[in-house]
Amino acid sequence: MNIIEAKEKILENGFLDIETDVQIDLFAAIENLKKQKNAIVLAHYYQEPDIQDVADFIGDSLGLAQKAAETNADIIVFAGVHFMAETAKILNPSKKVLLPDLKAGCSLADSAPTQLFKKFKEQHPNHVVISYINCSAEIKALSDIICTSSNAEKIIESLPINQPIIFAPDRNLGAYLNKKTGRNMVLWNGACMVHEIFSLEKIIKLKIRHPKAKLIAHPECEEAVLNKADFIGSTSQLLKYVQTDNSPEYIVATETGILYKMQQTAPHKTLIPAPPNNSCACNDCPHMKLNTLEKLYLCMEYELPELTMNETLRIAAKKPIDRMLEISRAAGLIG
C-alpha cells in the first residue's frame, strides 16, 4: 500500500485497515520497530492487556502527560485516546505523535464543544478556568490551568479561597471537588459515559454478597456511587490503594482495563468490577478499546495515523498544561 492509499484509509476509518500476516509475532515486531525508529509506546491503564504488555510506560493521565513532557524518543506512540495524544503533541511539537486509531475519542471531551464553552466563559467574567485534561486542545486553549484526577485538589488549593472558578468539563468530578475543597466552582455540565454507568442498586446488592469487599471509585462516578465508596481516587491512586490497603476484596467502580494491572500488582486480592446499570459491557470504554495490538503495530510500521496541530492552537493550549505541571511539581506529585 502506498502512502496516499494509506492516508485515504485513515480518513475513511480512523486507522490503517490493512490485513496483517497471521504469522507475524506482533509483540516482537513492535519491539523491533521501537528500536529501529527510537519510538516510545505510552499506554493508559484502560488499554487492553496486550497493549499494556508492550508499552514502555503505563500510567494515568498525569503520569502520561509527565512522561510525554520528558521523553527523548523521536516518535511517541500513544495508546490512549485523542485528547491524550493531543497533549503529547502540545508538549512535543518536533516529535511525531501517532495514535493507533484517530477515532478513539472521549465522551467527556465531546461534551464541551468549543463555541458553547466560549459563551459559557463569557457569562462568567473574572473566573479562573480549570479544565480537566479530558478535553480538546481548543478547550485547553480557553483554560487557565489544566488538572487531572490525581492533582485536581492541589490545583484548586493553589488558588485563593475567594477566587471564582469555572470547572470543566466533568460535573461529577467538579461536584466531588467542590465538596472536598469547600469551594463553589461553577460546573460545566459534562460527564464520562463509562463512569456514569454504574448501578448503585447492583453495587449495594454486591456488597451484601461480599461483606468484606471495599468499594473503590473514580471521582468521575456519580455522587450516589461516590457517597457509598470506601475510597475515591484517580486511576493510579486506586491502584496504589489496593496494593497498600489490607482488605482481601474490592468492588472497583472504574473502567475495567485497570483490573489487569491491579491484579498483577496485588495477585492475592479479589477484584470485582462494579456492575453497570444494564447487561452490556459498558464499563469498558468503547473509545479506549478501539486501539488493538494490530493497529498499534500498523501505525508504527507506516507511521500513521499521525496527530498534527496548528501551531497557534498548540502554543495557547500549552500554557495551562505547563501551569499544571509546575503546580504538580511544587506539590511533590511528580518528580
Retrieve residue 7's grid coordinates: 492516508
Position 292 contacts ligand 13P (CB under 6 A): no
Sheet with 96-98, edge to edge strand ranges: 57-59, 39-44, 75-79, 96-98
Q: Is 233 helix (H, G, I), strand (E, B) or coil?
A: coil
Restricted to residues 177-236, the positions that interact with ligand 13P (CB under 6 A) are 192, 220, 234-235
Position 285 contacts ligand SF4 (CB under 6 A): yes
Q: Are 194 and 255 spatial neighbours (Cβ–Cβ below 8 Å)?
A: yes
Query: Shortest gap between Cβ of 302 and ligand SF4 (angstroms)?
Result: 25
Using CB under 6 A, count the residues that bind ligand 13P. Answer: 10
Position 255 contacts ligand SF4 (CB under 6 A): yes
Q: Are 195 and 144 spatial neighbours (Cβ–Cβ below 8 Å)?
A: no
* Listed ranges 2-10, 146-154, 161-169, 177-185: which one lies at the site for ligand 13P (CB under 6 A): 146-154
- Rounded to whole angstroms, the Cα distance separating 230 from 143 reads 32
Residue 282, contacted partner among ligand SF4, ligand 13P, none, CB below 5-8 A by kind:
none
Retrieve residue 69's grid coordinates: 513532557
Query: Shortest gap between Cβ of 296 and ligand SF4 (angstroms)?
Result: 17
Query: Shortest gap between Cβ of 291 and ligand SF4 (angstroms)?
Result: 11
Position 136 contacts ligand 13P (CB under 6 A): no
Which pairing describes strands 96-98 and 145-147: parallel, antiparallel, or unpaired? unpaired
Restricted to residues 244-283, the positions that interact with ligand 13P (CB under 6 A) are none
Query: What are the C-alpha distances in Å from 147 to residues 171, 177, 233, 280?
Result: 14, 12, 14, 31
- Rounded to whole angstroms, the Cα distance separating 232 from 205 reads 20
Rule CB under 6 A: choose which of 6, 186, 193, 313 binds ligand SF4.
Answer: 193
* Residues contributing to the site for ligand SF4 (CB under 6 A): 81, 106-108, 134, 192-194, 255, 285, 287-288
* Residues contributing to the site for ligand 13P (CB under 6 A): 60-61, 134, 148-150, 192, 220, 234-235
